[in-house]
Amino acid sequence: MGKKNNLIAGLDIGSSKVCTLIAHLNEEGGFEIIGYGETPSKGLKNGVVVNIESTVEAIQKAVEDAEVMAGEEIDNVIVAIGGPHIKGQSSHGLVIINDKEVKKKDKQRVIDNATAVAIPRDKEIIHVIPQEYIIDDQGGIKDPVGLAGVRLEAKVHIVTGATTSIQNVVKSCNKAGLEIEEIVLQQLASAEAVLTEDEKELGVALIDIGAGTTDIAIFYNGSIKFSSMFGLGGDHITNDIAVGFHISKKEAENMKIKHGCACSELVKSDEMVKVERLGGNENVPVSKKILSEIIEPRVMEILSIAKQEIKKSGVGELIASGIVLTGGTTLLEGIDKIARQVFPVPVRLASPGDVGSGIVEKVKNPAYATVVGLCLYGTKMDRNYAVSSSSFMKNVINWIQEFV
């Protein structure tokens, strides 16, 4: 599964950047990152492909740079998908156990039963994720095979996406010379990189604030219970800065990265930074305090919407471990302080853990949570993993490729 010559390749096609990681599997089931490539993304908006050619060029550049560093060529990838078109819903299935003992076929039957829900014609299933199995009213079962019983139930989380958006991702990769081994929900990938097993067991809400979107996932008892996303992220902060100071978006992005602070009370009123105004050839001093006062309301808005999403999920009371923030926007100084004002639970900032050697420091950054998570996800694809997506997505990908 994406493991030619024991290699795993993850591809994150984001709104601000396209990033590729190539990792080498070791005998213990872990991996070592051997190749890395990144290029600015110009073909996406809010996580959705809006320009095929620009996206293809960015993918090719990121993959080529990773291949040169790794000294290896790749022909298939595990790809993350996100965007407002992604929807998650819970479902329930029930079957009668014929032999009084649950067999693998019974497990598949109950999953199929739970998946038999009405899906709009313009949508496709990306994941069917088992949350728990129930045998004769006994719940909390993670794997029912071999257990005795008469009635088997399954609770699942179904993730769907717009067929056209999935198709554009597949087309972009195919035109870049790549086959897609698996399409993975962005939140699931990020969770692999930044959440601990204890957090997922006790209950945690992951908030991944990227450039174009903010992605949310709630985990409990080791499984995803809720997923959601909305079209606000770091790019909107950049736009606010550009408008506020009458500067280019490029200058605003640099200003945000170098001098941005999400909490204005952390900035002294006499601190100044220099920026280049639109139409001007000289740098002018502006207040860093004012910069922070532009950033803070947008950060507060993003976090407040995330709070509303968690509240309406119906499982917000399960997050005993609190909130975990990741994504490139969380590099803003003071964002954790603002988050603690918004959420009445513990908050921590998260980056990918110790995942290899060589260029590990480069990817120990919340901006790379998704692409690192894709590689971690890939190490589990041959095992009895809790995410059942391959059969659905292979059908979707094969169908789409007939028209590419």
- pLDDT tens, position by position, 10-38: 999 988 899 999 998 877 767 889 999 99
Distance, CA of 199 to CA of 207 (rounded, Å): 14
**Residue 388 confidence class, pLDDT cut points 50, 70, 90:** very low
For the beta sheet containing 179-185, the strands, ordered from the edge strand earlier in sequence to the opposite edge, are: 31-40, 17-25, 7-13, 76-81, 179-185
**Residue 356 confidence class, pLDDT cut points 50, 70, 90:** low
Q: Which of 392, 393, 317, 375 is nearest to 190 (CA)?
A: 375
| Residue 230: both structure tokens together | 């909305």
**Residue 394 confidence class, pLDDT cut points 50, 70, 90:** low
Q: State yes or no: pLDDT of 358 exceeds 90.
A: no
333 DSSP 8-state letter: B
More confident residue, 20 or 391: 20
What pLDDT sits at residue 38?
94
Rg of the chain in Å (alpha carbons) = 22
Distance, CA of 251 to CA of 101 (rounded, Å): 65
Q: What is the dihedral of CA 32, 35, 38, 44, to 10 degrees?
A: -70
Strand partners, 169: none
Q: Please give the angle made by the CA atoms of 388, 228 and 81, to the nearest 5 degrees.
A: 55
Q: Comparing 119-133, 202-216, 244-258, 265-279, which segment has the lowest mean pLDDT? A: 265-279
- pLDDT tens, position by position, 318-332: 999 999 999 999 999
Residue located via tokens 């209950």: 203
**Residue 353 confidence class, pLDDT cut points 50, 70, 90:** confident
Instruction: Kindly give, in sequence order, each residue whose CB lies less than 8 Å from that of residue 128, ignoring residues fewer than 6 positions away.
Output: 111, 114, 115, 156, 157, 158, 159, 388, 389, 392
Find out whether 18 and 29 touch, Cβ atoms under 8 Å: no
